[in-house]
Amino acid sequence: MLNKHVDKGKLTMLSGTDFVKKIKEGNKELFETSKSNVRRFFASNPSDKYLVEHFRGRMVNEAQNMYAIAGQVASADPSTDVKDLELLSKQALDEAKHFRMVKEVIEHITGEKLDVAAAFAAEAEKPQAKGASLLEKYEASEDPAALAAYQLVAEGRAEAVWNEMADCVEDRFISTRYATIAKDEGFHSNLGGRALSKLVEGSAELQSRVLSLVERMREDLIEISNKNTASPLAVV
C-alpha cells in the first residue's frame, strides 16, 4: 500500500487513506458555513409554523436516504463484501430511525399526530432543497464511488448540522434526538470514507474523478444549506 503520494503522469495519486484525509480537510469550509446558516436560522426565532415546515423537509430527506440506501442493499451484487453489506444495512436502519425521530419532533411541536402521507404530499407540492437529491443527481445507485463520496461529504455535513441544531434548540426533547441523529451521521460519513479509501486505492484516474465530483457536491450542498435555512424557507 502507498503511504505517500506518487506521480502517475500528470495525475498525483495518494494512498486511499490519505485521499480520504484530503477530502475531509477540504470539507471544513462547507461544514462551518452550514453551521453558521443553522445558527442564523434559529437566531431569527422562527415561528412554530416555520419550524414544522423546516423539519418536515428534514423528515422527508431522512426518508429519501432510507429508501436510497435500502435500495443499494437490495440490489447489491452477490460478490459484495459481507461486512460492507452489514454496515450499509445498519445505515438504512439508522435513516429509518431518523425518519421516525424527526416525525416525533414535529408531533412534539404541534401536539398532534402527524399525517405522514399528507406531509409527504405537502413537501412534494412545495419541495425544499435536500441533500438526498444529490444521490440521484450523481447517479449514486449506479456508481459506488459517488455513493461513498456522498456518504463522506453529505453525511459529514449532516453530522455538523444536526449537532449545531441540537446546540441551538433549547427544548430537550428535540435537542437530545438531534444529538443522537448527529452521532449516527458521523458513523455514516466514516462508512463512506472506509468504502472510498478502498475504491480509489491505486487509481489516480478515479481519484481525479472523485475530487471533481466532490467539488461540485460541496457547491450543491452550500446552495442547499442556504435555501433550507432561509426565512421564509425557499422552495425548489
Range of the domain at 134: 13-228
**Cell numbers describing residue 140:** 449514486
Residue 68 forms part of a structural domain: yes
- Written as one string, the DSSP assignment of 168-208 is H---HHHHHHHHHHHHHHHHHHHHHHHHHHHHHTT-HHHHH
The confidence score (pLDDT) of residue 1 equals 34
Q: What is the predicted pLDDT for the residue at 10?
A: 53
Spatial distance between the Cα atoms of 50 and 160, rounded to a whole number of angstroms: 21
Is residue 6 situated within a structural domain? no
Question: How much is the pLDDT for 11?
Answer: 60
Cβ contact 168:39 at 8 Å: yes
Separation in Å, CA 77 to CA 65, 70, 151, 177: 20, 14, 19, 35
The pLDDT, as a whole number, for residue 136 is 81
Burial class (CB in 10 A: 0-12, 13-18, 19+), 113: exposed
Q: Tell me, what's the pLDDT at 102?
A: 96
In-domain check, residue 8: no
Instruction: Classify residue 180 by its DSSP letter.
Output: H
> Is residue 25, in this structure, part of any structural domain at all?
yes
> Residue 76 has what pLDDT?
87
pLDDT at residue 141, rounded to an integer: 78
Is residue 1 assigned to a domain? no
Q: Please tell me the predicted confidence (pLDDT) of residue 125.
A: 86
| Structural domain includes residue 159 | yes
pLDDT at 164: 96
Q: Is residue 191 within 8 Å of 150, Cβ to Cβ? A: no
Question: What local confidence, expressed as pLDDT, does residue 100 receive?
Answer: 97
Number of domains forming the structure of the chain: 1
What are 201's three cell numbers?
A: 486505492
CATH of residue 154's domain is 1.20.910.10
CA distances from 8 to 1, 11, 22, 179, 204 (A): 15, 5, 18, 43, 7
pLDDT tens, the chain, 236 aa long? 333 444 444 567 899 999 999 999 999 999 999 999 999 989 988 899 989 988 998 899 899 989 988 998 999 889 988 998 999 999 999 999 999 999 999 999 999 999 999 999 998 888 776 777 887 888 887 899 999 999 999 999 999 999 999 999 999 999 999 999 999 999 999 999 999 999 999 999 999 999 999 999 999 999 988 888 765 544 33
Q: State pTM to two decimals.
A: 0.83
Q: Is 234 part of a structural domain of the chain?
A: no
In a domain, 235, yes or no: no
Among candidate residues 134, 136, 149, 142, the one with its CA nearest the CA of residue 199: 149
